[in-house]
Structure 1
Amino acid sequence: MSHNFLQVCVRYFQACNNVHASQPKYVCLLGYPSFKYSHPHRWLKTTAAQQGQIVQFKLSDIGEGIREVTVKEWYVKVGDTVSQFDSICEVQSDKASVTISSRYDGVIKKLYYNPDDTAYVGKPLVDIETEALKDSEEDVVETPAVHHEEHTHQEIKGRKTLATPAVRRLALENNIKLSEVVGTGKDGRILKEDILNYLEKQTGAILPPSPKAEIVPPAPRPRDSPAPAPLSKPPVFTGTDRTEPVTGFQKAMVKTMSAALHIPHFGYCDEVDLTELVRLREELKPVAAARGIRLSFMPFFIKAASLGLLQFPILNASVDEQCQKITYKASHNIGVAMDTEQGLIVPNMKSVQARSVFEVAAELNRLQTLGSAGQLSTSDLTGGTFTLSNIGSIGGTYAKAVILPPEVAIGALGSIKALPRFNQRGEVCKAQIMNVSWSADHRIIDGATMARFSNLWKSYLENPAVMLLDLK
């Protein structure tokens, strides 16, 4: 028989490292000697290699319901040789970054995505040329088991090892063959605990338990403490949903806020030191009470805003729906947002520029009384030109106030808090601080105008004596 047609029945079988051969002992080739091993041997079945085949390596489910990821970086290129568990690429989901490892030994033939492309779960990620298999099985001699440190990672032909990328990486880092680990998960899936248990048996090391498996015993209970009462049955909720129409002030708010969505808002925030104003208000409260007036901080805020509007009339203007015309309002009709049982309402006091602080306080008392009783007139609720919201009376430091069309500006006042600050001599002192948040219609009001108005308003409140000089 020609040497070209001799059939080889035995070939070298390498589990990890090369096997050393000794002198011939018996023949299992047609006319050719085989090799004797210096140790006992037994027979097993394996398959012979044919020419390479292309395998599509698909992006598997990485959990959390994620269906697509972004390819951040490739660790391989076309033509590179990879082994099982080698890192192929890094992908980024909306929750975390994940390193994808190879399941095969072979050569990279194609990359389906470029960096920053979107890859989909279940779709091909790369093509890998692997060693093909044929159906015929032949007898070979099995080498004895090598030492643990000689093990390398191999894929067991015909057997699919179930493990997550994190478990495979843990096995790779500790030089463990997954084929030697008994999986305790569903369908024989190898879990992290299986790797740790295997490593502990092999090395005798005491490994820390998995956080999920850690059980914290309850604290010991004193002997004389009473036994805990049995848990009562949870109450049964018997309520039902109800639907009611949007009416009254809520319906008006829906219309107003929907129109406000078309306004590009510009926000500006600052803090105001009200230490002097707090002292002045305490001095004036008995005087106001003698006149039957409840004096809060709001009359000062409103009057300071009116003085600022005299210098910046664009903030006391209005625009038409198409924003083609600007109307500068002569009267300062300043609205005050109020929280009532009927909902949010914004009554306004007319002609603040012509009123004193006490007159503003008296008008504010009237509006608050009527608002609480739900008896505000249409005149009280219409015609506003500028608005302040005292949201700080309920709580909070900052707010993003929404402009009330056709107005073009609004301010939200935070709560007053005692905070440490430096005085003019560089000494730390107690200061009464309030934050203010302004919103302006950025179509007609620029940021510099809003900032200058805020600085002027702030100066009046931080130095109430200066405000007296500009009162008319």
Structure 2
Amino acid sequence: VGDVLSHHQGAAAAASAPAIPAPASAAPTAAPAASAPAPTASAAKGAGGMPVAPVQYRTPKGYEHLEDRVPLRGMRRAISNQMQASHLYTVRTLTVDEVNLTKLVEFRARVKDDAAAAGVKLSYLPFIFRAVAAALRKYPSLNTSFDEATQEIVQKRYYNIGMAVATDAGLTVPVIRDVNHKSLFELAREVTDIAGRAQAGKLQADELAGSTFSVTNIGSIGALFSFPIINVPDAAILGVHSIVKRPIVDEYDNIVVAHMMYLSLSFDHRLVDGAEAARFCREVIRLLENPDRLLLEAL
């Protein structure tokens, strides 16, 4: 997404979809340094390029005393502008898949004490970040942006992923930079640090800009799956959801209980073909379902 906070306080932060900081059972989006300017309502264009008239709300007669009006400003205005930019400047398409996290749940349980001894709170988010970075390297169209001004596709060879954090002031999206160069424990420390400072309102402007891909966590509040809003000018955003135990049929035709999670990938169809989006999801799934490969394969 574009620099959400640049309109409010000279900073950059992007809003993609409702998201919560990553809990221990699900995972959690990011903001690029430069984006298409967030349009105002008067600048919006409809079919045929005709201006779209602003919608004026009228209070029903007799209910005036039961309404309050609050100016749209600050963080909420920035988020509103970003949502409108995403709607106007992307061709948003959705693909949904599911992943069996049973092996990952077991692996995390085995190393959780080691992580704690090293002073690390190990959620599922670092695993997801590593899987996403590896998949982006294999399917680079999802790690691009479209420069509206020059009509050029920007292909990126770095992997900066954001984490949406819901705060009292609104949604902030700090960026985890160079994910492909960091270990699980390094990512876990950074996630904990950034989430804490986001909640306290202590993030720096440069920590809220420069994403190449977004990840948003809807699962911590119980959503089955979602249609995340793309963080312009990113090409795509991955929504991760609740990890739920449910019955599945294994490779031997036995009904077993597994830890399952839905993935929702929103992508800009101008930049990403549907087949590549589906293959990207399958690569993320392959790595998350096999934690040993996630740790051993180079990013």
Q: Which TM class, normalised by the smaller chain length? A: 0.7 to 0.9
What is the CA-CA distance between 1:240 and the residue it aligns to?
5.1
Moved more, 447-456 or 324-333: 324-333
Q: Which amino acid in 2 is paired with 1:333?
A: N
Q: CA deviation at 1:464?
A: 0.9
* Deviation readout 1:107-140 (Å, 9 max, x if unpaired): xxxxxxxxxxxxxxxxxxxxxxxxxxxxxxxxxx
Letter in 1 for 2:217: N
What is the match of residue 147 of structure 1? none
Shift of 1:293: 1.2
Question: 1:331-346 maps to which residues of 2 (within 5 A)?
Answer: 331-346=158-173
Whether the 8 Å contact between 2:244 and 2:260 is mirrored in structure 1 is yes
- 1:319-468 superposed matches below 5 A: 319-322=146-149, 324-468=151-295
How big is each residue's C-alpha offset from its partner over 1:165-221, in whole Å with a ceiling of 9 and x where there is no partner? xxxxxxxxxxxxxxxxxxxxxxxxxxxxxxxxxxxxxxxxxxxxxxxxxxxxxxxxx
Shift of 1:244: 2.0
Q: Give the Å deviation of 1:322.
A: 4.9
Q: What residue is the counterpart of 1:252 in the other structure?
A: 78
Q: Where in structure 2 are the equivalents of 1:212-231 lying within 5 Å?
A: none
Instruction: Write the letter of the residue equivalent to 1:252.
Output: A
> Alpha-carbon deviations, 1:355-384, whole Å to 9, x = none?
111111111101110111111111111111
Shift of residue 407 of structure 1? Answer: 0.5
Give SS of 1:261's match: helix
CA distance in 2 between partners of 1:378 and 1:329 (Å)? 22
Alpha carbon RMSD of aligned pairs, Å?
1.4
Task: Provide the secondary structure at the position in 1 that maps to 2:243.
Answer: strand
Shift of 1:254: 1.2
Match of 2:61 in 1: none
2:296 alignment partner AA:
L
1:287 deviation in Å? Answer: 1.1
CA distance in 1, matches of 2:226, 2:165: 15
Q: Counterpart of 2:87 in structure 1: which amino acid?
A: L
- The answer for unaligned runs of 5 or more in structure 2 is 1-64
Find the counterpart in structure 1 of residue 100 from structure 2: 273
Pairwise CA distance, 1:323: 7.2
Query: Partner amino acid for 2:227?
Result: K
Percent same amino acid among aligned pairs?
37
> Which structure 1 segments of 5+ residues have no match?
1-238
Question: How many correspondences in the alignment?
Answer: 234
Contact residue 126 and residue 184 of structure 2 kept, 8 A: yes
Q: Which has the higher helix share?
A: 2
Q: Distance in 1 between matches of 2:258 and 2:105?
A: 10
Give the alignment partner of residue 138 of structure 2, picking from 307, 311, 336: 311
State whether structure 2 residue 75 is matched by structure 1 residue 242: no
Q: Which moved further from structure 2: 411-420 or 315-324?
A: 315-324
Write the deviation string for residues 72-101 of structure 1: whole angstroms up to 9, x where unpaired.
Answer: xxxxxxxxxxxxxxxxxxxxxxxxxxxxxx
SS in 2 for 1:307: helix
| C-alpha deviation, 1:468, in angstroms | 2.1
Deviation at 1:336, TM superposition (A): 1.2
Distance 2:112 2:74 in 1: 36
Once residues 233 and 72 of structure 2 are traced to their aligned partners in structure 1, the CA distance between those partners, rounded to angstroms, is 23
Structure 2: distance between partners of 1:307 and 1:464: 13
1:17 matched residue in structure 2: none
Contact 2:144/2:271 (8 A) holds in 1: no
C-alpha distance in 2, partners of 1:326/1:440? 15
Structure 2 CA distance, aligned partners of 1:471 and 1:285?
A: 23
TM-score by length of 2: 0.76
User: Residue 286 of structure 2 aligns to a residue in which SS?
Assistant: helix
Equivalent AA in structure 1 for residue 197 of structure 2:
L
Residue identity opposite 2:195 in structure 1: Q
Higher relative contact order, chain-length normalized (CA < 8 Å, sep 6+): 2
Q: State the secondary structure of the residue aligned to 2:246.
A: strand
| Alpha-carbon displacement from aligned partner over 1:57-78 (angstroms, at most 9, x marks no partner) | xxxxxxxxxxxxxxxxxxxxxx
Counterpart residue identity of residue 417, structure 1? V
SS in 2 for 1:415: coil
Q: Secondary structure at the match of 2:164?
A: strand
Q: Secondary structure at the match of 2:228?
A: coil
| CA displacement at 1:283 relative to structure 2 | 0.9
The amino acid of 2:180's aligned partner reads Q
Q: How many angstroms apart in 2 are the aligned matches of 1:423 and 1:362? A: 35
Q: Per-residue deviation at 1:250? A: 1.2
Residue 392 of structure 1 deviates from its aligned partner by: 0.3
Give the structure 2 partner of residue 295 of structure 1. Answer: 122
Partner of 2:29: none
